[in-house]
Structure 1
Amino acid sequence: MPRRRRPPRPGALADLSPTRILSQIIVLQLAYYACAAVLILFTALVFGREVNTDLLFSWRSLRGDTTVGWTLGLVWVLNSLTCVVFILLLIARSKLVLDFALTIHFIHLIVTSLYSHGIPSNFFWWALQLCSMVVMTFLGVWACRWRELRPINFGTKAAARQGNGPSEDGVGEARGRGRGRGRESAGEYEMVGMNEEDSNV
């Protein structure tokens, strides 16, 4: 007789579905570049610089010996802070934040290398990617854990409004207030709370 398979945990296939993971990666990567493009465009217009795709995809623009390089570095760090919001909305699971953060920066490394026709050899670029990944991971895990640990409301406030909540002396109002019929429908009964004098008898 063949051994019966253990049924999968509810939601496990949906959480680990390759299609869903791939779609989340694509959406996060697009959001990563979209936010960076908006921030770089705004910064370039403010400083009166020429706007081109090198500022977004070329690693040669990120240099530690120029003002433009440091400005772009701050923009990319700010972009990492912005992507934490997308991680919270799309991923919402703290144990997956590191994987997605590494994936985003690994894809960015591939895109940058293909665009610049070479692997980044600038130390400032690598240090910036490490800083960006740490910021995205730390804040992403903190935000997702904050969301995961939020208390779940099971309608206690509604019950308190109906008189079922705790009274001023800390004793539940529902105790001793029930009214109903006996098991054999012998008549109505009323539960009355016990006083201290009755309990000592």
Structure 2
Amino acid sequence: MASFRSYVWDPILIIAQMLSMQTIFYVSLGFWLIIVDKISNTNKSLDQMFNHSSLDISSGSGKIILVAFMLNSLTGAISLWLIIRRSKQCWDFAITVHIIHLLSCWIYNVRFPSTMTWWLTNIVCASLMTVLGEYLCMRSEMKAIPVAGGRADL
């Protein structure tokens, strides 16, 4: 007898979810960067996404990139809610997305990210993505399950 919401190990599902989350992370980050670049009239570059020194909050362009990363964490939370649908797994997927981003930045720059702003931004974004994703998933998980056909007088 299977229990309610029993967890079944499905590596293909997990890999598909991770690929979806990573794709949405970079596509939506690119989307937010394009929008904030249009508003602020700054040049578009891959450095905005991967170069850790571009997140310098003392410059105006660094603050704009920071806004794009924060907006992307909101998009990431919504994608956790739509793709993962389990509050227990939100932390795992959000951290994995950001670890893969760390590795991508490391490969892109050919050195480990060393700026405090980059680390703080990614820690805050991962936390925001996790907390909001868990909140949205919990709201869906806590909805009442309608039971049709039962007797009302019991």
Alignment TM-score > 0.5, same fold: yes
Map Cα deviations across residues 12-57 of structure 1 (whole Å, 9 max, x no partner): 33xx211111111111000001001011011112222111111112
User: Partner of 2:128 in structure 1?
Assistant: 135
Once residues 12 and 78 of structure 1 are traced to their aligned partners in structure 2, the CA distance between those partners, rounded to angstroms, is 32
Task: Report which of the two has the higher share of helix.
Answer: 2
Q: Contact (CA 8 Å) 2:51, 2:105: kept in 1 or not?
A: yes
Amino acid at match of 2:70: V
CA distance in 1, matches of 2:40, 2:16: 36
Shift of 1:85: 1.1
Task: Quote the residue 1:79 is aligned against.
Answer: 72
Q: How far 1:155 sits from its partner (Å)?
A: 3.0
What does the per-residue CA deviation read over 1:49-97, in whole Å, with 9 as the maximum and x for residues that have no partner? 1111111121121112111111111110110011111111111111111
- Counterpart in 2 of 1:62? 55
Structure 2 regions of 5+ residues with no counterpart?
none
CA distance in 2: counterparts of 1:48 and 1:66, whole angstroms: 14
Q: Percent identity?
A: 26
Q: Which runs of 5 or more structure 1 residues have no equivalent in the other structure?
A: 1-6, 166-171, 176-201
Equivalences for residues 155-166 of structure 1 within 5 A: 155=148
The total of aligned residue pairs comes to 153
Distance of 1:64 and 1:44 partners within structure 2? 16
1:12 matched to 2:7? The reply is: yes
1:93 is aligned to 2:83: no
Matches within 5 A, 1:184-199: none
TM-score (norm 1): 0.70
Please give the root-mean-square deviation of Cα atoms over the aligned residues, in Å: 2.1
Q: Give how far 1:147 is off.
A: 0.5
Higher mean alpha-carbon deviation, 97-106 vs 40-49, is at 40-49
Higher relative contact order (CA closer than 8 Å, sequence separation 6+)? 2
